Chain A
Amino acid sequence: EVQLVESGGGLVQPGGSLRLSCAASGFTFSNYAMSWVRQAPGEGLEWVSGISSGGSSEHYADSVKGRFTISRDNSKNTLYLQLNSLRAEDTAVYYCASHRSTTCYSHLDSWGQGTLVTVSS
């Protein structure tokens, strides 16, 4: 059974940083691209960032480009998202999700339960 478990969320002040992690199990993690998708309270889904299976290609939404960095460690079956220069509008539940392909040009077929990031003073 595919499992994706996010961690690392919490309360942070504006301008602060956090690192989110997503531990994967139940599938061959290194074979699939991964993405982060966020959902602000009461709002819809927003794709944030994606990374290819081998980690050579990274993609970012314009809203986070230059502030967030996605990475993965295939030896640890773990996906990361480094969040810097956080703003109030980054407050959201952050989901990690797996693509059904080595690249991000595919649907998201498994999702974690999410981790809440709250940016507030």
Chain B
Amino acid sequence: DAGVIQSPRHEVTEMGQEVTLRCKPISGHDYLFWYRQTMMRGLELLIYFNNNVPIDDSGMPEDRFSAKMPNASFSTLKIQPSEPRDSAVYFCASSHRTSVQQYFGPGTRLTVT
């Protein structure tokens, strides 16, 4: 298995632009998580899905952030409009319902100038 796949690996954009981050979870996994990691705040859970349904989005910072999971093999995290304070590494992770172990993707490093 290729593991969790994220794209792009790096994204540099200007303030006000729309940013879309993509994730392909491990095949057969029921849960998908989006995290944000910064030096100041560490690793924060933004939202997670179970069987493509959003379960808890209480970590989404504000309405500029949205996430979708149209099918079991694809999810997106969108920021519109982006702001410099959104600069961080965004991780996607997936897990199987029988285990709490999460498998993380390599992350997308987002820089908003």
A binds B: no
Chain A interface (Cβ < 8 Å from any Cβ of B): none
Query: Which B positions have Cβ atoms within 8 angstroms of A?
Result: none
